[in-house]
Structure 1
Amino acid sequence: MVEKQENSVLYYPIREDAARRTKEMNSFSDYKEGSATAEYRRCVDQAVEIAKQQKEKVDPIYHGKIDALVDNYARKLADNMNRGFEIDARVPSVMVAGPSNFPTGKKEKQNAARAQNMEEWRQVQGILDKIKGTGMGGISADNPHAVEQLEKQLEGLEKSQQVMKEVNAYYRKYQTLDGCTALSTVEIEKLKVSMEQPWHLGNKPFQSFALSNNSAEIRRIKARIAELKQYAEVGFRGWEFAGGKAVANQEMNRLQLFFEEKPSAEERSILRKSGFKWAPSVGAWQRQLNHQAISAAGRIEFIRPLSGEHPRDLQPKAKQSPGRNETVR
């Protein structure tokens, strides 16, 4: 039975009977009832704390993803621990069983299973790193909130640009920062210290390159927002091919390939090289939905539309954007 914590994180069941059996097969000391569950919950609580700290650092739109990662960690850790108990109880230790007629072959298989289980444990622990990294990278185009985040970033850049211009104008007029309402008292004192440093060139608070670099970033973000909005308005279209269909899933922002039968090893290799990844949750091979995905699909002969056309020719007429890095930083 799955048990829910007060903070809504789920505790998955730990097999106490298997943990007890493992102790009996490998030690002469008694098993402390509930110790396996207690250790499991300690690890989950640690993940919850990491998630809590991460949520304080990132935009709230990432909180749902962080919660999902914590639940994934809790579930997979329980599976891994229960699997470990089952493996450890297969063959007793030589200390408990004694060397006479010891099943060496079975022990070797047990050790191999243990090694695999340990590798799976490392992968489970890697989820903690994913939690720590959520929301800390660039703004990906396949993020449904990408435009919203970019517009928020643009707002901050434009505000900074205006402040730098106002501060420079104030200083140019009064030759002092005292009394400048564009900055707080603390910011004024910090800027004074900065202007006294040997690396601060020129007689103005904010140097020309700072404004020009910020202006260039504003232009880049504006162009990216326009591009993403264009993608959302294009309305890509799917098609049928021999043995399946291609679906332009606008809601998930994915070009999805559904096959009636599992593609051959060669075909799967081609799909991977073309940027498609298998998504068992939806039963499709998919990649981000954009012009590059349509072009890539057009180069794969076995998913060509039944009409014989290039997938690109089936799409609504719209201005094509050149290939580019799809992650904004």
Structure 2
Amino acid sequence: MKHNFEERRNNRINYAHQRAAKSEAEADRLYNVSNDMASFIPLGQPILIGHHSEKRDRRYRERMRNVFGQSVAQRDKAAYYGEKAESIEHNNAIFSDDPDALEKLTEKLKTLQELQEFMKAANKCIKKNDKTAFLKLNRATEPLWEKLTTPDYANRTGFPSYKLTNNNANIRRIADRIAGLKKLEKKQAVDKTVNGVRIYENKDANRLQLIFKGKPYEDIRKQLKSSGFHWSPSEGAWQRHISPNALYSAESIVRNFKDIA
């Protein structure tokens, strides 16, 4: 299970890095296209109102602005995926089968919520150019003020919207995990036998386990794998994380096959 998790984690990191690099390259390309388009307009040349070229010139400039806007959007996307990769790499994951998972997740949720409120409050202060109010905020420092009030490549200041979006998504994800763990704690563990197969919710391992009398037939093994179950030699069971869907899948597989051995 640990190996599978690490493999998926590394795949997610590599994917995020690839998307960041691709978006960065596309941003550079679009920026260069925009610059090339601008080079055909003489420096300081206004639109000639009433001239036969007016409509064509306006369309050309609009296309140029659109290309530049696409470049900015790609740059934001590159930053988003770059931060996502970094977040995965440095994330101290809290596993649901950790005895202290609920306590750790609750603390993490509190930290993320405080960060979200700080970023929103900081952006308000920056919008008003109120440095005094900013420095009264928890987490605020002089260097951070200088950093946040220095315009980026698109002349924007403050925490970028994708930072708030990412953090808010993490808040929702952690809150959902907490709710799920609390619900799981209250629920009585399933432990029953259907068609000779034991269906057991091992809460200590946070795994739903299917324990067969012997090795199941190949078609059953394929069904198990396609439903997310993995063979655990140490447990002597086919298992996956506990969830309502896991139980539904287990019951469906076992009911559809008779005399499993």
Alignment TM-score, normalising by the size of structure 1? 0.42
Task: Give deviations 1:98-140, integer Å, cap 9, x for gaps.
Answer: xxxxxxxxxxxxxxxxxxxxxxxxxxxxxxxxxxx99847555
| Pair 1:195 & 2:149 matched | yes
Task: Give deviations 1:63-109, integer Å, cap 9, x for gaps.
Answer: xxxxxxxxxxxxxxxxxxxxxxxxxxxxxxxxxxxxxxxxxxxxxxx
**Highest Rg: 1 or 2?**
1
Match of 1:155 in 2: 110
**Deviation of residue 300 (structure 1)?**
0.9
Are the structure 2 counterparts of residues 269 and 260 from structure 1 closer, same or farther at C-alpha, using a change threshold of 3 Å? same
Are the structure 2 counterparts of residues 177 and 189 from structure 1 closer, same or farther at C-alpha, using a change threshold of 3 Å? farther
Judging by fraction of residues, say which structure has more helix: 2
Moved more, 189-198 or 278-287: 189-198
Q: Which amino acid in structure 1 is aligned with residue 102 of structure 2?
A: V
- 5+ residue gaps, structure 2: 1-87
**Which of 208, 212, 219 is the aligned partner of 1:259?**
212
2:205 aligned counterpart, secondary structure: coil
Are the structure 2 counterparts of residues 230 and 135 from structure 1 closer, same or farther at C-alpha, using a change threshold of 3 Å? farther
**Deviation of residue 280 (structure 1)?**
1.1
Are the structure 2 counterparts of residues 160 and 258 from structure 1 closer, same or farther at C-alpha, using a change threshold of 3 Å? same
**Which of 108, 130, 154 is the aligned partner of 1:175?**
130
**Deviation of residue 272 (structure 1)?**
1.8
1:201 aligned counterpart, secondary structure: coil
> 1:193 & 1:246 partners in 2: Cα distance?
56
Residue pairs, 1:287-298, within 5 angstroms: 287-298=240-251
Moved more, 271-280 or 170-179: 170-179
Match of 2:201 in 1: 248
Match of 1:284 in 2: 237
> 1:283 & 1:247 partners in 2: Cα distance?
12
> 2:89 & 2:146 partners in 1: Cα distance?
36
CA contact (8 A) 2:227 2:249 kept: yes
Match of 1:238 in 2: 191
Alignment TM-score, normalising by the size of structure 2? 0.51
CA contact (8 A) 1:167 1:180 kept: no
Match of 2:221 in 1: 268
CA contact (8 A) 2:208 2:242 kept: yes
2:189 aligned counterpart, secondary structure: coil
CA contact (8 A) 2:96 2:206 kept: no
Identity across matched positions, percent: 32
> 1:213 & 1:284 partners in 2: Cα distance?
37
> 1:168 & 1:285 partners in 2: Cα distance?
50
CA contact (8 A) 1:243 1:261 kept: no
Q: Which amino acid in structure 1 is aligned with residue 229 of structure 2?
A: F
CA contact (8 A) 2:199 2:209 kept: yes
> 2:134 & 2:250 partners in 1: Cα distance?
61
Instruction: Tell me how many residue pairs correspond in the alignment.
Output: 171
Task: Give deviations 1:155-196, integer Å, cap 9, x for gaps.
Answer: 2212213333444565577732588132668x3223323322
Superposition misfits of 4+ residues, deviation over 6 angstroms: 303-306
CA contact (8 A) 1:241 1:303 kept: no
Task: Give deviations 1:13-52, integer Å, cap 9, x for gaps.
Answer: xxxxxxxxxxxxxxxxxxxxxxxxxxxxxxxxxxxxxxxx
Q: Which amino acid in structure 1 is aligned with residue 218 of structure 2?
A: A
2:250 aligned counterpart, secondary structure: helix
Are the structure 2 counterparts of residues 190 and 280 from structure 1 closer, same or farther at C-alpha, using a change threshold of 3 Å? same
> 1:291 & 1:275 partners in 2: Cα distance?
13
- 5+ residue gaps, structure 1: 1-132, 307-329
> 2:239 & 2:172 partners in 1: Cα distance?
32
> 1:266 & 1:278 partners in 2: Cα distance?
15
**Deviation of residue 292 (structure 1)?**
0.9
Q: Which amino acid in structure 1 is aligned with residue 146 of structure 2?
A: K
Are the structure 2 counterparts of residues 246 and 134 from structure 1 closer, same or farther at C-alpha, using a change threshold of 3 Å? farther
**Deviation of residue 305 (structure 1)?**
10
